[in-house]
Structure 1
Amino acid sequence: MWLLIAFIAIPMIEIALFVSVGGAIGLWPTLAIVLLTAILGTHLVRSQGLAAIGNVQQSFNELNDPTEPLAHGAMILIAGVLLLTPGFFTDAVGFALLTPPFRSAVFQYARKRIKVQSFSMGGSTGASFHAQSAKRHSGAQENEVIDGEFTEVDPSTEFAAKQDNQVKKPTHSPSGWTKH
Structure 2
Amino acid sequence: MLPLALVLAFLLTPVLEIYVIIQVGQVIGGWPTVALLLAESLIGGWIVRREGRRAWRALTATFQRGDVPDRELADGALILVGGVLLLTPGFVTDVFGFLFVLPFTRPLVRRLLTRYAARRVRVAGARAGVFPPGLGDLGFGAPQAQPRPGGPVVRGEVVHDEDAPPTARS
Q: Note whether the superposition's TM-score is higher than 0.5.
A: yes
| Counterpart position of 1:16 | 19
Matched, 1:67 2:70: yes
Distance 1:59 1:18 in 2: 42
C-alpha displacement at 1:105, in angstroms?
A: 2.0
Gapped runs of 5+ residues in structure 1?
A: 119-180
**TM-score between the two structures when normalised by the length of structure 2:** 0.64
Q: Give the letter aligned to residue 73 of structure 1.
A: G
Gapped runs of 5+ residues in structure 2?
A: 122-137, 142-170
Distance 1:31 1:90 in 2: 15
Matched, 1:2 2:8: no
Distance 1:11 1:109 in 2: 25
Distance 2:98 2:114 in 1: 22
Identity of aligned residues (%): 37
Secondary structure of the 1:100 match is: coil
**TM-score between the two structures when normalised by the length of structure 1:** 0.61
Distance 1:97 1:61 in 2: 26
Q: How many residues align?
A: 118
Q: Give the letter aligned to residue 66 of structure 2.
A: L
Within 5 Å, give how 1:16-165 maps onto structure 2: 16-112=19-115, 113-114=117-118, 115=121
Q: Give the letter aligned to residue 75 of structure 1.
A: L
Structure with larger Rg: 1
| Counterpart position of 1:133 | none
Q: Is the 8 A contact 2:47 2:102 kept in 1?
A: no
| Counterpart position of 2:130 | none
C-alpha displacement at 1:99, in angstroms?
A: 2.1
Q: Give the letter aligned to residue 19 of structure 2.
A: A
Q: Give the letter aligned to residue 44 of structure 1.
A: I
Runs of 4+ in 1 over 4 A off after TM superposition: 115-118
